C-alpha cells in the first residue's frame, strides 16, 4: 500500500504556475482583439463629445438678443390666428373657438401659426394689440395678436430653435410684399384691363378687344370736294 500511494503522489499533475528561466511568474498575454474593441469604444465616445460640443457652440454663437432687437419674434401658440387684413385678424382675436370655426377661418383667410416659428415684426398696433409680421414661405404679410409672439427663442416641434438663416427669413428682409386682396380668395387673379374680354382658360391673359377690320369689298367713301 505504501508503494502504491507513493507512485500516485509522484504521478499527480502540478497545476500551479511555473516560473520561467528568470524565476518570474508567467502571465497571460493580452488579447489584441479586446484591445481593439476598447480603442474603438474610446474613439466613439470621443466623437460623441465632440459632436455635442459643436452643437452647443453653434447654439451659443447665435445672438438671440440681437435678433430680438432687429424685430424677430417666436410664436408661442398653435392655431389659425394670422390674417392678411388687420380687420380679419381682430375678428379672430376676439372670437371664441377659432380652431373649430372653419367658416370663420375661410372667410378671414386665416393662416396657422406654429410654436417656435420665427417671424419678423414690421409694424405694431398697440391700440388693437396686433402686429404685422412676415414669415418664411408666405407671400403676403400677416396680422397676428402681439400676445402670441415672444422675444425669447423657443424650440419648434422638432426641438430646433429657428433662426433667420435656417428658415431663409433673413434673405427676405423687409422688402415690400404683395398687398392682400380686398375681397375674394387669395388665389384671385388680376383684374382684366378695360375693353378686354375675359379669358376662359385659367392663367392665360385675356386678349384686348380690337376694332373690326374694314370690309374688303366696300367702296371707299368719296373725298370731300
pLDDT digits (tens, 9 = 90+) for 120-161: 999 999 999 999 999 999 999 999 999 999 999 999 999 999
pLDDT at residue 94, as a whole number: 87
Dihedral (C-alpha) 213, 219, 221, 222: value to the nearest 10 degrees? Answer: 160
154 assigned to some structural domain: yes
Total of domains in the chain: 1
**Residue 91 belongs to domain spanning:** 64-168
79 assigned to some structural domain: yes
How many Cβ atoms are within 10 Å of 122's Cβ, its own excluded? 14
pLDDT at residue 31, as a whole number: 62
Mean per-residue pLDDT of the chain: 73
157 assigned to some structural domain: yes
pLDDT in tens, 15-32: 555 555 555 555 555 566
- Mean pLDDT calculated for residue range 180-184: 44
- Mean pLDDT calculated for residue range 98-125: 94
pLDDT at residue 120, as a whole number: 97
pLDDT at residue 29, as a whole number: 59
pLDDT at residue 97, as a whole number: 85
Amino acid at each position: 500500500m505504501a508503494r502504491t500511494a507513493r507512485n500516485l503522489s509522484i504521478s499527480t499533475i502540478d497545476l500551479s504556475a511555473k516560473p520561467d528561466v528568470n524565476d518570474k511568474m508567467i502571465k497571460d498575454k493580452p488579447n489584441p482583439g479586446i484591445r481593439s474593441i476598447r480603442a474603438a469604444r474610446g474613439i466613439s465616445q470621443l466623437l460623441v463629445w465632440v459632436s455635442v460640443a459643436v452643437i452647443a457652440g453653434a447654439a451659443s454663437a447665435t445672438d438671440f438678443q440681437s435678433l430680438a432687437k432687429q424685430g424677430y419674434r417666436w410664436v408661442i401658440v398653435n392655431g389659425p390666428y394670422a390674417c392678411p387684413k388687420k380687420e380679419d385678424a381682430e375678428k379672430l382675436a376676439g372670437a371664441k373657438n377659432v380652431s373649430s370655426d372653419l367658416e370663420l377661418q375661410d372667410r378671414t383667410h386665416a393662416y396657422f401659426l406654429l410654436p417656435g416659428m420665427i417671424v419678423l415684426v414690421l409694424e405694431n398696433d398697440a391700440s388693437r394689440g396686433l402686429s404685422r409680421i412676415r414669415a418664411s414661405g408666405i407671400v403676403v404679410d400677416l396680422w397676428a395678436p402681439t400676445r402670441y409672439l415672444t422675444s425669447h427663442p423657443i424650440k419648434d416641434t422638432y426641438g430646433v430653435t429657428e433662426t433667420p438663416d435656417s428658415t431663409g427669413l433673413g434673405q427676405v428682409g423687409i422688402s415690400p410684399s404683395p398687398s392682400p386682396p380686398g375681397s375674394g380668395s387669395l388665389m384671385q387673379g388680376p383684374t382684366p384691363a378695360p375693353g378686354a374680354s375675359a379669358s376662359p382658360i385659367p392663367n392665360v391673359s385675356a386678349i384686348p378687344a380690337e376694332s373690326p377690320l374694314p370690309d374688303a369689298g366696300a367702296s371707299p367713301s368719296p373725298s370731300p370736294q
